[in-house]
Amino acid sequence: MIPQEWDVKSFDDLFDFRNGVNAEKQAYGQGVPFINVLEPITYSHIYGPEISGRIMLSESLLNSYAVRHGDVLFNRTSETQEEVGLASAYLGSEQVVFGGFVICGRPKNDSLDPLYSGYALRAPSVRSQIIPMGQGAIRANISQHNLKLVLALVPAPAEQGAIATALRDVDELLKGIERLIAKKHDLKQAAMQQLLTGQTRLPGFIGEWETKKLGEMLTICHGKSQRGIETEDGIYPILATGGQIGSTNSYICDKPSVLIGRKGTIDQPQYMDTPFWTVDTLFYSNVKNGNSAKFLFYLFWRFDWKRYNEASGVPSLNAKTIEGIEAKCPEPHEQEAIATVLTDMDAELAALDQRLTKTRNLKQAMMQELLTGKTRLVTSEAIHA
């Protein structure tokens, strides 16, 4: 139920619309920042640094297609209907223009708080109106006429500000988690470079590493068709190059194993330490001589597998080729120690990814509650004060 203090207004009541500038090919790549189709799709709010394009225009065109603080940009076209007509509020102050694949909505009045509009105009209640309007056989498109028909909920200014501030705080939290994930990922990549090459040794380990062929440490094995063994309620996964594709009650291997694509995706190693079945496009391995499967899994990520591609069409690897690759390796006990360090780093990254997902879900839940008035941050008394 819509709060009685909230208005329902059409986009036609809220905005004057205009399509963006189209210029000659040589005008692009230099000049002023240029908002094109990608920015509204990617960002709910544009401050300036997000803009990647540049365009050189005459002074009259610069003025005619300038974007002002508080304008709302909509992508006029997209590859999918679900992404057409996404709204993005411009909150910057530098000189910016908008391109031909973008529709600019200039506020007719101060009904919408600029920060609030970047959230509210991407809300499910708005998207559910815009998405069905997307037309086009190859690409989805939307027109100014379509946008004018869309209805939006408009709370009082004080409530808009409270809602926008709450959602912005969650966005800042999301950005902080994303930055932390990026930092931890870089640290892991550096650790892999140092530990898997012997440049840095863990405490207590000495002695030279020995150059070995992978075939001395593991045997590459072929997967088999899942026909006859696949079942919906199976307890073991059936794996392909892209991950699990089914389940079974049979297994092809029940020991820790490194897996690598035989055809198709050949550069995405997988690791399993529970029983599994693999199809014939995915190699698995039997690790031998006490070597660590987890260490070898991390080692596999260091190889340029496309260099070993043996097909001109669909990328392919050969078992003997894999077994013939040489690498410097420590003794099994040092392998285990290195694998433990990297596994702990992976666990930390997985926990951060889970936290990021939960925070994104929290934001979606908040948007559903706050942008529909189901949960109020401002009392009626405060609105009318």
**45-74 burial, b if ≥16 CB within 10 A, otherwise e?**
bbeeeebebebbbeeeebeebebeebbbbb
pLDDT, tens digit (0-9, with 9 covering 90-100), for 340-356: 999 999 999 999 999 99
Q: Determine, yes or no, domain membership for 88.
A: yes
Note whether 175 and 305 are same-domain residues.
no
Domain count, the chain: 3
Q: Determine, yes or no, domain membership for 356.
A: yes
What's the mean pLDDT in 226-243? Answer: 95
Question: In this structure, what DSSP letter does residue 145 have?
Answer: H
| pLDDT confidence of residue 1 | 74
pLDDT, tens digit (0-9, with 9 covering 90-100), for 31-73: 999 999 999 999 999 999 999 999 999 999 999 999 999 999 9
Q: Please say whether the beta carbons of 319 and 218 come within 8 A.
A: no
Note whether 254 and 341 are same-domain residues.
no
Note whether 214 and 203 are same-domain residues.
no
Dihedral angle, C-alpha 33, 38, 44, 47, nearest 10 °: -20
Note whether 25 and 149 are same-domain residues.
yes
Q: Determine, yes or no, domain membership for 84.
A: yes
Residue 151, phi then psi, degrees to nearest 5: -105, 145
Note whether 170 and 258 are same-domain residues.
no
Q: Determine, yes or no, domain membership for 1.
A: no
| Helix, strand or coil, per DSSP, at residue 99 | strand
Q: Determine, yes or no, domain membership for 2.
A: no
Note whether 148 and 40 are same-domain residues.
yes
- What the block records as the tokens of 263 is 């055809």
Q: For the chain, what is the mean pLDDT?
A: 94
Q: Could you tell me the CATH number of the domain that includes residue 19?
A: 3.90.220.20
Residue given tokens 């100014």 in the structure block: 144
> Which residue, of 310, 329, 348, is where some domain finishes?
329
Provide the 10 A C-beta neighbour count for residue 382: 13
pLDDT, tens digit (0-9, with 9 covering 90-100), for 86-97: 999 999 999 999
Biggest distance spanned by C-alpha atoms of the chain: 79
Distance CA(98)–CA(115), nearest Å, equals: 19
Q: Determine, yes or no, domain membership for 133.
A: yes
Residue given tokens 């931890």 in the structure block: 184
Q: Determine, yes or no, domain membership for 102.
A: yes
pLDDT, tens digit (0-9, with 9 covering 90-100), for 325-339: 999 999 999 999 999
Note whether 195 and 88 are same-domain residues.
no
Inform me whether the pLDDT recorded for 250 exceeds 90: yes
Nearest to 127 by CA among 119, 116, 135: 119
**Which pLDDT band, with edges at 50, 70 and 90, does 383 fall under?**
low
Domain that holds residue 259: 210-329
H or E stretch covering 237: strand 236-240
Note whether 164 and 202 are same-domain residues.
yes
> Which residue, of 154, 180, 197, is where some domain finishes?
154
Note whether 143 and 28 are same-domain residues.
yes
Q: Determine, yes or no, domain membership for 103.
A: yes
Distance CA(167)–CA(145), nearest Å, equals: 30
Inform me whether the pLDDT recorded for 385 exceeds 70: no
> Which residue, of 154, 169, 188, is where some domain finishes?
154
Distance CA(195)–CA(329), nearest Å, equals: 10
Q: Could you tell me the CATH number of the domain that includes residue 196?
A: 1.10.287.1120
Note whether 121 and 188 are same-domain residues.
no
| pLDDT confidence of residue 207 | 92
| pLDDT confidence of residue 3 | 84
Residue given tokens 């209805």 in the structure block: 151
Note whether 191 and 335 are same-domain residues.
yes
pLDDT, tens digit (0-9, with 9 covering 90-100), for 255-292: 999 999 999 999 999 999 999 999 999 999 999 999 99
Distance CA(185)–CA(350), nearest Å, equals: 11
- What the block records as the tokens of 4 is 């009685």
Note whether 221 and 367 are same-domain residues.
no
